Amino acid sequence: MEPIVQSPDAQWLHKLLDGIYTIEDITFGLNNGKAVRVRGRFLVPSGEAFAYLSPRCKDVGLTVLFRKEDQSETIYLVSGVAKAKEEKLWLPLTLGIVTVISMVFSYLFYWESPTLTWSAISAGLPRALLFAVPLLAILLAHELGHYFMARRLGVAVTFPLLIPFPLSPFGTMGAVIRMKDTAPSRRALLLIGAAGPICGLLVTIPALLIGLHLSELAVPPSGSYMIEGNSLLYWLAKYVVFGRWLPSANLDVFIHPMAFAGWAGLLVTSMNLLPAGQLDGGHVAYALLGERARYVMWAVLAILVVLGFWWQGWWLWAVLVFLLGRSHPQPLDDLTKLCSKERVIAVAIFVLFILTFTPLPMTVVM
């Protein structure tokens, strides 16, 4: 449809926007002749205008963008519509199998015996599976939450991809899912970003509580050992199961492998909810704050740098945030703000981040 956006005849634009937008200025020939810019003001709420225009423009091969420029509500019509490629199942299935093997190996190596003899493997394998299977379920629930919400909103996404990482205590760096389309609105960003952590927690919390019931209280051993850090939610879960705040009175919980998987699920949730870049929390922050979300990102970066003096892993996250999280792609409709109910959801997601955040994930006690 390039001739449309290149045409100096604005009659088709006036007909398209009649009743929803007052045209004040039109600029043809942008983006090498593939875009037209229209400046003016909306006669109806921008969300209603986008819902009306988007399918009509898509039918004729145009993508519509709503932008705020110099206090003007601007519409861009760009030639071309993104077409998602068909996904292949072999890659997510292969990565899934490798990740499960990596989880089992890491649990055996880090938490059972660094000397992986056949006797050590056979003795530790049941415990390793009690860790790997719940953690796999948590990661898949998280990513499938994103996947199905995106599909429901008409946004093309990849299949969830598990990331094996046998050098870590968990055997994985989590999972990713990538949007192949630009999000249509801030509302879509919010719902897609929030769906993953919520679905993940629906599996994480039962696994954690069941695992804690299978755990035992004991006096910590003499010598050096590693303990998991407390988030507010993990601290509360231990109180619910054991009826006391732990650690206390020289007692602490020696967690069952399933409880360890639940604890890891809380940690993964909090890391994904960091309000930066294209992390889940970054999507929610942009949906709520727009371009102002970059100030939150810089605050997060500073906090991670400071926390890195107590747990060096936060410095790696600070580098990742700095390299990958300094900007966020704008949705197609970047004018329509969240409604009051959606703002409540966004605030609830940030409360969830605070509840699951673990300042010191791992501590070595000498």
Burial of 30 per CB tally in 10 Å (0-12, 13-18, 19+): middle
The confidence score (pLDDT) of residue 3 equals 43
What pLDDT score does 80 carry? 81
Global confidence as pTM: 0.91
Strands 161-164 and 172-176: antiparallel
Both tokens of 298, joined, read: 């810089």
The 8-class DSSP code of residue 310 comes to T
Domain-wise residue ranges, the chain = 2-79, 90-365
pLDDT for residue 349: 97
DSSP reduced 3-state for 7: coil
User: What is the spatial distance between Cα 102 and Cα 92, in angstroms, rounded to a whole number?
Assistant: 15
* Tokens read off for 43: 């006669």
Instruction: Give 323: exposed, middle or buried? Use CB within 10 Å, 0-12, 13-18, 19+.
Output: exposed
Taking a C-beta distance cutoff of 8 angstroms, is the pair 248, 263 a contact? no
pLDDT tens profile 77-100: 998 876 666 778 899 999 999 999
- Residue 160, both tokens: 């969830």
| Pairing assessment for the beta strands 21-29 and 35-42 based on DSSP bridges | antiparallel
Q: Among candidates 11, 24, 28, 33, which has minimal Cα distance to 70?
A: 24
Residue with tokens 């055997």: 171
- Alpha-helical regions (H) of 214-256: 232-242
Helices 90-107 and 118-152 cross at an angle (nearest 10°) of: 140
pLDDT at 2: 43
Q: CATH code for 2-79?
A: 3.90.1070
**222 SS3 class:** coil
Q: Please list the residues that pair with 65 across neighbouring strands.
A: 76
Which positions of the chain have pLDDT values less than 50?
1-3
What is the four-CA torsion angle of 6, 12, 14, 19, rounded to 10 degrees? Answer: -130
Report the pLDDT value the prediction gives residue 1, as an integer from 0 to 100. Answer: 41
